[in-house]
C-alpha cells in the first residue's frame, strides 16, 4: 500500500495509527463528532428578527416564494398525497386573501380521511406494517388501529405508548410481535431483539442493529444496551449472545438512558412494557419529540435538520430550530397536525425548491404516483371483499404492492424502513415502460376519460376465498336464456398457483348427465349452455395434491353469463377517493384538464398541438397520458 507505489514509510504508518486511534476525524467532521446532544428539552430563546413566523426567525429565511399553483400542489401532496383538481387549484389561485396559505393547510388537515390515507404510508414504513402480505412466520396487521389513530389525531405520546404497551384486545400488538421468521434465526433477530431495534430506531433515532450482535464499532452503544432494552419486551430472562454465541450472562432490564428510570428485571411482562411506554414518552426525554420532528421535517423539506435521520447523536444543522419545534410540539400536547401546520405555514416552506432554507425537489412516493394516475384518469383499483359481496375503491396503500410500486420505492416492510431509496433505477424504467400495472391503468383510463369503458358484467356466483380449510363450494345458479357460461378460477395470492388444481365435480345442466371438469388456477373455461337449460349445478373441490404448505392455495370461483372483465370480477360499491373527471369527447377540453390536474398548469401552444394530434385515437391518448405521467414535472414535488 499504496497500489503500484512504494510502500508507506514507518513514520507514515505511525501517523496513520495515531489518527485512527484518535477516531480518524477529518477537519470537516471534527466539530460534529464532538457534538453531545442533550437529553432534556428546553425551548431556546426566540432570535431577534422582523420575521413573523418562528421557523423563519430561526432560519433567517431569504426572500422569495413559489407561485400559488406550486404551493397548492405541494400542500395537497404533502397532506393528502393527492393533487389538487383543476377546480380546487383555480379556487386557491383566485383567492386574494393574504391568509389563504394557512387556511388551505387547515382545510386539508380537517379532512381526516384523506390525511390519514396519505400519512399511513409513512407510518407503515416505520412500523413494518403492510397490506396483502403473506409470510411464513407470524405477523399481525395494525392497519385498523393506525388509520384510526391518524383520523383521531391521537397525541404522539399516546401513540407511542399504545404501540409499546398495547391494550390486550384492541391494541396494535403487531408492532412488538415483529416478523417471526420460520426456522432457525440469528439471536439478534429474535422478536424481542427486533422490538428493541425497532423502538430505538423509530422513536429515538438510534441504530442498535450492530450492537445486537456485539459492541458497536461506529457508536457508543454496547451489546448489553441492546439486550437491556430488549428485556423490556421479554417475558423471560434473556441470555446475552455475542455474535450468536451464548455468553452465560443474563441481561438486566435497562433503558438506553438509565437516568430516566427503569424497572426490575424480574417484573412481569405487562409491568415492563408499561415502564418502557413511560420512559420513551417521559417529559424528561427530549429525544423522542426531537426524533419525530426531524422525521417530519425531512418529509416536508427533503432533508432532515439532523442527517442521517437515524443518527440523532449527530449535530443538527440548526440545533435551536430543532429544539424550538420539539418543545413547541410537546407544549401543544404532542399534536402531529399542529406540527405539520407549524412547519407548512412558514415562509421557508413556500420557498422555491433548491433555494437555501427551502425544500428540496422530492420525488412522488410509489403510493402518490399510483394514486394520482388514478385521480387524473378516474381509473381506481379496488379492494376485493373476502366474502361474496362488493369491492370498494382503494388508495394504493390498502392494496398488495405491485412490481411497479416496489420499483418506485414501496418497502417490503419485513423490517423497519425509515428512508426509502427513491433514486431512478433500470427496474423503474422497465416497469414504467413495459409493466402491466401502469399499462392497464393507462389503457382503461383512456377509455374511461372518453366514456368508452363498458360496465363490468356481474357474476352469477362468487364462492368467496377457498383454501385448505374451506376446500369446496356448491354451485347452484339460475341460467335461463344464457347461451354460454364463463367459469373463472382466480388465484388469490397462493404461494404456488401453478400447482393449485381444482375439479368441477358433477357439473351439470338441470338433470342432464354430469361431468367432471378438472381445471388449474388461475383459468377461465367457456361452456356452451344446452338449449332450454334452466340451472347449472356443480361442486368445486380442491385437489388433495394442492394442499401442501408450500403451495398454500387461496383461490376463488366465479360463474358469469357474459364474458367477464378480469379487472373487475366484483361489483364495486361506494365512491372513489376523489370525484372522477367528467368523461368528454372534446379533446381540447380533455387536454387542458389533464395538464391542469397532472402538472398544475395549462399546456403550452406547442404541447397543445402535439397533444391534440396524439389524442385523435385511444392508443394516442394512452401515449399522451404516459408521456405526462413519466415527465419529471409530474413525478416531483417542486
Binned at pLDDT 50, 70 and 90, residue 136 comes out as: low
Q: What is the pLDDT of residue 95?
A: 97
Q: What is the pLDDT of residue 183?
A: 63
- Least confident stretch, 19-28, 301-310, 494-503, 608-617: 19-28
Whether 532 contacts 551, CB under 8 Å: no
- Least confident stretch, 78-87, 154-163, 244-253, 498-507: 498-507
Mean pLDDT of 160-186: 87
> DSSP 3-state assignment of 437?
helix
pLDDT digits (tens, 9 = 90+) for 278-307: 999 999 999 999 999 999 999 999 999 999
DSSP 8-state assignment for residue 333: T
- DSSP calls for 202-225: HHH----SGGGTSS-SSSS--HHH
> What mean pLDDT value characterizes the chain?
93
Q: Looking at domain 461-562, does it have CATH number 2.40.10.340?
A: no
Q: How far apart are CA 432 and CA 428, in angstroms?
A: 6
- Least confident stretch, 117-131, 177-191, 225-239, 528-542: 177-191
β-strand 636-637 against 461-466: which pairing, if any? unpaired
Q: How far apart are CA 160 and CA 332, in angstroms?
A: 16
Q: What stretch(es) of the chain map to CATH 2.60.120.510? A: 461-562
Q: How far apart are CA 152 and CA 159, in angstroms?
A: 11
Residues in the chain: 638
Task: Please check the confidence at residue 613 and state whether its pLDDT lies above 90.
Answer: yes
Q: How far apart are CA 580 and CA 377, in angstroms?
A: 7
For 297-336, letters b (16+ CB in 10 Å) and e give bbbbbbebbbeebbebbbebebbebbbbbbbbbbeeebbb
> DSSP 3-state assignment of 35?
coil
Q: What is the pLDDT of residue 168?
A: 87
Strand partners, 251: none
Q: What is the pLDDT of residue 33?
A: 59
**HSE-CB of 516 using CA atoms within 13 angstroms:** 7
Torsion angle defined by CA atoms of residues 424, 428, 432 and 434, in that order, rounded to the nearest 10 degrees: 140
Amino acid at each position: 500500500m499504496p497500489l503500484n507505489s512504494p510502500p508507506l514509510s514507518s513514520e507514515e504508518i505511525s501517523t496513520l495509527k495515531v489518527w485512527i486511534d484518535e477516531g480518524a476525524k477529518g477537519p470537516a467532521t471534527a466539530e460534529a463528532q464532538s457534538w453531545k446532544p442533550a437529553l432534556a428539552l428546553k425551548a431556546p430563546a426566540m432570535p431577534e428578527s422582523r420575521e413573523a413566523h418562528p421557523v423563519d426567525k430561526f432560519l433567517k429565511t431569504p426572500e422569495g416564494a413559489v407561485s400559488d399553483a406550486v404551493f397548492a400542489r405541494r400542500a395537497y401532496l404533502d397532506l393528502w398525497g393527492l393533487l389538487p383538481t383543476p377546480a380546487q387549484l383555480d379556487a386557491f389561485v383566485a383567492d386574494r386573501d393574504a391568509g389563504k396559505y394557512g387556511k388551505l393547510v387547515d382545510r386539508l388537515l380537517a379532512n381526516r380521511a384523506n390525511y390519514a390515507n396519505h400519512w399511513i404510508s409513512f407510518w407503515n414504513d416505520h412500523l413494518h406494517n403492510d397490506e396483502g402480505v403473506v409470510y411464513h412466520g407470524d405477523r399481525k396487521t395494525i392497519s385498523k388501529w393506525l388509520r384510526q389513530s391518524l383520523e383521531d389525531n391521537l397525541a404522539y405520546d399516546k401513540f407511542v405508548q399504545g404501540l409499546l404497551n398495547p391494550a390486550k384486545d384492541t391494541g396494535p400488538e403487531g408492532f412488538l410481535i415483529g416478523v417471526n421468521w420460520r426456522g432457525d434465526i440469528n439471536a439478534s433477530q429474535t422478536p424481542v431483539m427486533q422490538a428493541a431495534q425497532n423502538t430505538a430506531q423509530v422513536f429515538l433515532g438510534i441504530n442498535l442493529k450492530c450492537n445486537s450482535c456485539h459492541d458497536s464499532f461506529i457508536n457508543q452503544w454496547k451489546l448489553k444496551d441492546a439486550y437491556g432494552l430488549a428485556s423490556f419486551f421479554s417475558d423471560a430472562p434473556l441470555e446475552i449472545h455475542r455474535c450468536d454465541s451464548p455468553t452465560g450472562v443474563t441481561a438486566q432490564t435497562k433503558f438506553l438512558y438509565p437516568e430516566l428510570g427503569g424497572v426490575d428485571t424480574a417484573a412481569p411482562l405487562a409491568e415492563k412494557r408499561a415502564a418502557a411506554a413511560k420512559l420513551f414518552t417521559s417529559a424528561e426525554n427530549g429525544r423522542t419529540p426531537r426524533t419525530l420532528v426531524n422525521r417530519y421535517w425531512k418529509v416536508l423539506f427533503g432533508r432532515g435538520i439532523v442527517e442521517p435521520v437515524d443518527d440523532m447523536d449527530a449535530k443538527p444543522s440548526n440545533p435551536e430550530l430543532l429544539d424550538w419545534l420539539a418543545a413547541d410540539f410537546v407544549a401543544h400536547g404532542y399534536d402531529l397536525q399542529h406540527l405539520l401546520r407549524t412547519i407548512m405555514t412558514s415562509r421557508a416552506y413556500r420557498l422555491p425548491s433548491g433555494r437555501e432554507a427551502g425544500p428540496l425537489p422530492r420525488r412522488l412516493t410509489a403510493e402518490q404516483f399510483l394514486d394520482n394516475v388514478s385521480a387524473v384518469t378516474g381509473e381506481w383499483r379496488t379492494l376485493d371483499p373476502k366474502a361474496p359481496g362488493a369491492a370498494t375503491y382503494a388508495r394504493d396503500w390498502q392494496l398488495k404492492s405491485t412490481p411497479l410500486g416496489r420499483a418506485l420505492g414501496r418497502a417490503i416492510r419485513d423490517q423497519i424502513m425509515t428512508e426509502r431509496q427513491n433514486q431512478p433505477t433500470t427496474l423503474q424504467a422497465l416497469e414504467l415502460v413495459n409493466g402491466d400495472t401502469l399499462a392497464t391503468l393507462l389503457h382503461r383510463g383512456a377509455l374511461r376519460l372518453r366514456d368508452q369503458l363498458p360496465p363490468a358484467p356481474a357474476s352469477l356466483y362468487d364462492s368467496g376465498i377457498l383454501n385448505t380449510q374451506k376446500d369446496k363450494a356448491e354451485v347452484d345458479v339460475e341460467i335461463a336464456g344464457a347461451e354460454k357460461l364463463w367459469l373463472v378460477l382466480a388465484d388469490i395470492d397462493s404461494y404456488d398457483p401453478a400447482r393449485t388444481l381444482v375439479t368441477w365435480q358433477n357439473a351439470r345442466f338441470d338433470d342432464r348427465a354430469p361431468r367432471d371438469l378438472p381445471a388449474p388456477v388461475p383459468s377461465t373455461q367457456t361452456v356452451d349452455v344446452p338449449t332450454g337449460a334452466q340451472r347449472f349445478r356443480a361442486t368445486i373441490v380442491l385437489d388433495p395434491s394442492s394442499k401442501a404448505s408450500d403451495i398454500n392455495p387461496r383461490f376463488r370461483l366465479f360463474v358469469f353469463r357474459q364474458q367477464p372483465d378480469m379487472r373487475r370480477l366484483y361489483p364495486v360499491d361506494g365512491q372513489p377517493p376523489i370525484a372522477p373527471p367528467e368523461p368528454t369527447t372534446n379533446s381540447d377540453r380533455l387536454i387542458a384538464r389533464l395538464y391542469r390536474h397532472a402538472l398544475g398548469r395549462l399546456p403550452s401552444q406547442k404541447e397543445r398541438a402535439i397533444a391534440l394530434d396524439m389524442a385523435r385515437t385511444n392508443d394516442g391518448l394512452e401515449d399522451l397520458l404516459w408521456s405526462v405521467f413519466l415527465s419529471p414535472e409530474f413525478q416531483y414535488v417542486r
